Chain A
Amino acid sequence: MAATPGSVSFDGVGLDYRLYRDRNVTLMHTVMNLFGRGTSRSWFTALQDVSFRFEPGEAVALIGANGAGKSTCLKLLAGIYRPTLGTVSTAGRIASLLDLGVGFHPELTGSENVMLNGALLGLSQGEMKALMPGIASFAMLERFMDTPVKYYSAGMFMRLGFSLATSVDPDILLIDEVLAVGDASFQKRCHERIGGFRERGKTIVFVSHDPTAVKSLCERAVWLDSGRVRMDGPTGTVLEEYLASSGGRVQKHGAGITPREWGTREVFFERVSITDTGGTPASEFRPGEPVRVDTVISKVPGPPVDDVILGYSLHRPDGETVLSGNNLECGAPLLTVAGGMKASMLLKLAALEPGNYLLGISLTGNGTDYHWQDYMYTLSLLGERKPVPVKLESVEFRSDGT
């Protein structure tokens, strides 16, 4: 067992997901299965025989294509998933920046939410009270701690989430993708704080698509490929191999970003349109207005292809990945492509930094890159009007006189 706080070890870890091709989970379903009629249940191996050991104070990046198992590893580390095979052991307190502010209840105030989250993380009330001023001041929300968080703007919400997660003095810090928290100056302070954890010898596990961010934060990288460890070593060496094998599709920072398409095209996007919810093609989106990506997916003649992963990634104009995801991570059914089929994604984005972004989409699965459309679509995300922390319930004007 790992004993020193901050150490992490994976020993022959395997993880299977049960997949539903069709999410109608009802008793009828089970009854059908009893009679051997249903074939809707199948298993997807997300990780297979993954072993590594991180020492306290190491900063390690997990890299790999969409669906390679990076996020699954983080969830195993956070104790959210339990491995199907093998053992995961961690020592010390873990802070995860996977889903900031997710435990916040809208009706509770900032400080009530901080106390509740402290209890979820296993801290005593005394400890949380002592941390409260620091959490409020880092998030720049001292004046709003007694306001219910439903009146917070998206930025305030994320700032409180980040401040809370990083204030509990973790031994291990889990970070998923670039931190898109708040405005540029707050982001700078986030990066400084994470740098501070490094200097104080905390263990950091970082998942990212962005080679620049990986290089600046981590000295070691683990390359995951289809749920297995493909390579484990110094960041420079691993990144070089990874970039070479992926045909240079992961752009170097600052290099010219041009739309590109590549892949085996056994399964491919036949038609793609970016529309608003009404189905009208669009490229400008107001805050909270969902971006709908409608695709028609087709395949070369032959047997149907199962377990196809449909992914998206959003980049800044300079190519830096802001966020990415896919149907597997979200627990949505994987695609079975038999002939032409329609699939769509509905992305609800809250742009903290309005401007132009590049959207890429991908079809992967079964260890194959079927079709990638990198930086293909330009989205213009319009800014949000900053909500006021005080909402006007009603106003009454009165006057007397004749």
Chain B
Amino acid sequence: MTNLPLLMKSLVDKDLRVRYKRSVLGFLWFLLKPLFSMVVYTVVFTRIIRFGGAIEHFSLFLLTGLLPWNFFSASLSASTRTLLDNHRLIRSVYFPRAALPIAAVLANAVHMLLAMLVLVLLLWAWGHAPSPALLSVLPALLFLCCMTSGLSLALSIWNVYYRDVAQFLEVLLLAWFYASPVIYPLGSDVLPTKVEAVIRMNPLSGVFEMLHSSMYYGNWPPLWCWISGAAWAAGLLLLGLAVFRRYEPSVVKEL
């Protein structure tokens, strides 16, 4: 009965329309937030802690990681609340419930893609001209979207049963940010070898390495990134779907 593509499109459309009502800068905020954090991190890591000095155009390097990270954390925070926020709708109409968290992820993905386009232009302007390796950005973002969707599905439905999930997520995201190669590179002497081995197990490491190497360095990403990214993407998406399917029939009675 349900026309899923149309439903998704309508929900994403609604999200985008509603988000920037009464906002002067509108969509620009998705670009401005990472730009502000870029300025902060640049000052902290080149003037105060001084480790970013080794990387030329450190601010652009930061932006390559911060834009997708912002997508990841904003999507998870938004989708975790989405079933609770729409409880009246869920209690009165039937439609596939998974459409709600996925729509929250897709709306953020639209923003990220636009922001990434701007970033490619910025990199170009500072001498990081697009190379053929830039093509690997697309699979990297696909992996990231799959991981985000999988986690969103599980978190959104767990949050209905345990409201602690939303609180826990905030803390988790803070730790996860520093445990992922978002604002620092792997494979340099920034990290002790043992720490780096642990960080490589992080689901996000492969994806962020892919993005740094293809966008900033203009190199094809190493093989381990592809394997790790694809495996975590498939794994987390399947896990999320399984969790959602398990709880979906009874969730309406818990809202």
Contact = CB atoms under 8 A, between A and B. Distances in A.
A388 interface: no
B92 A102 contact: yes
A105 B9 CA distance: 16
A105 B15 CA distance: 10
Given A80-B92, A93-B1, A107 B21 contact: yes
B164 A79 contact: no
Tier of interface size on chain B: 20 to 34
B91 interface: yes
A360 B217 CA distance: 74
Nearest to A16: B253
Given A26-B163, A122-B1, A331 B255 contact: yes
A109 B92 CA distance: 21
Contacts of B124: none
A120 B95 contact: yes
B239 to A, nearest CB: 20
Contacts of B27: none
Contacts of A81: 252-253
Contacts of A93: 1
A81 B164 CA distance: 25
A78 B94 contact: yes
B47 interface: no
A119 interface: yes
Given A80-B93, A81-B252, A122-B2, A27 B14 contact: no
Interface string A64-78: 000000000001001
B40 interface: no
A154 to B, nearest CB: 16
A81 B252 CA distance: 7
A103 B162 contact: no
Contact of B92 (A96, A108, A331): A96
Given A25-B162, A119-B10, A120-B7, A103 B1 contact: no
A103 B89 contact: yes
Tier of interface size on chain A: 20 to 34
Contact of A18 (B18, B162, B163, B254): B254
A112 interface: yes
Contacts of A331: 253, 255
A205 interface: no
B2 to A, nearest CB: 5
Given A26-B162, A81-B253, A102 B3 contact: no
Interface of B: 1-3, 6-7, 9-11, 13-14, 17-18, 21, 88-95, 161-164, 249-250, 252-255
30 contacts: A18-B250, A18-B253, A18-B254, A25-B161, A26-B163, A26-B164, A30-B162, A75-B91, A78-B92, A80-B252, A81-B252, A81-B253, A82-B249, A93-B1, A102-B88, A102-B89, A103-B93, A105-B14, A108-B17, A112-B14, A116-B14, A119-B6, A120-B89, A120-B93, A120-B95, A121-B93, A122-B1, A125-B6, A331-B253, A331-B255
Counting from the closest, the 3 A-B pairs by CB-CB distance are: A79-B94, A119-B10, A99-B92
Interface of A: 17-18, 25-27, 30, 75, 78-82, 93, 96, 98-99, 102-103, 105, 107-108, 112, 115-116, 119-125, 331
